[in-house]
């Protein structure tokens, strides 16, 4: 295995983290803001107030995500040759790991599906179509509120 240039890995991780930080902020604040508001309203919970510690949390989270993505690319280079194809593949694998597999653990909790009144996640929407509507109607609003309080 060739020697790893750690300075380039860290700089690349910082670039990836900045891209993820700003794109996630845009996605959740501007594009999905009404969905998040609907989720909190349906759960009867107050949305979290903006706070500087939240920005620090998300910055650290995205830094970890960026560094892990770059490290994944570094590990993939000997097998798939350095270049844009390997970078795109590493990005796709990282996206799959962070954006699909991570949230998939919450599918059995039915938290957002019940609060939004429909299934919004990709796996839940296509695998368990009718199941969530039945579970949400059986649980009632008091159970959804209790679940939100326990998680938050």
Q: Whose CA is closest to 112, among 57, 58, 32, 55?
A: 32
Q: If you average pLDDT over residues 120-129, what whole number do you get?
A: 50
Distance CA 105, CA 96 (A): 13
d(CA 17, CA 63) in angstroms, rounded, equals 5
Asked whether the predicted pLDDT for residue 147 surpasses 70, the reply is no
Q: Which of 63, 32, 116 is nearest to 71 (CA)?
A: 63
Interval 53-61 mean pLDDT: 89
Looking at every residue in the chain, the average pLDDT score rounds to 76
* pLDDT-based confidence at residue 107 (cuts at 50, 70, 90): low
Q: Give the mean pLDDT of 129-148.
A: 46
Closest CA to 21 of 50, 49, 47, 54: 54
Two structure tokens written together for 152: 């938050």
- Residue 58's contacts (CB-CB under 8 Å, 6 or more residues apart) are 21, 24, 25
Comparing 36-40, 91-95, 129-133, 143-147, the range with the smallest average pLDDT is 143-147
70/36: higher pLDDT: 70
pLDDT at residue 113 in the model: 56
More confident residue, 51 or 111: 51
Tens of pLDDT, residues 12-55: 999 999 998 999 889 888 998 888 888 888 878 888 888 888 88
Q: Going by C-beta distance under 8 Å and a sequence separation of 6 or more, which residues neighbour residue 49?
A: none
């Amino acid at each position: 295995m060739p020697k790893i240039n750690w300075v380039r890995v860290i700089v690349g991780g910082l670039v990836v983290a900045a891209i993820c930080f700003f794109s996630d902020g845009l996605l959740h604040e501007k594009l999905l803001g009404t969905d998040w508001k609907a989720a909190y309203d349906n759960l009867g919970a107050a949305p979290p107030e903006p706070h500087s510690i939240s920005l620090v949390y998300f910055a650290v989270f995205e830094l970890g995500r960026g560094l892990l993505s770059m490290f994944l690319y570094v590990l993939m280079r000997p097998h798939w040759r350095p270049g844009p194809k390997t970078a795109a593949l590493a990005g796709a694998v990282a996206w799959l790991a962070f954006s699909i597999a991570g949230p998939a653990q919450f599918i059995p909790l039915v938290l957002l599906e019940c609060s939004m009144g429909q299934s919004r996640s990709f796996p839940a929407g296509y695998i368990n179509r009718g199941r969530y509507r039945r579970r949400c109607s059986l649980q009632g609003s008091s159970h959804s509120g209790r679940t939100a309080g326990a998680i938050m």
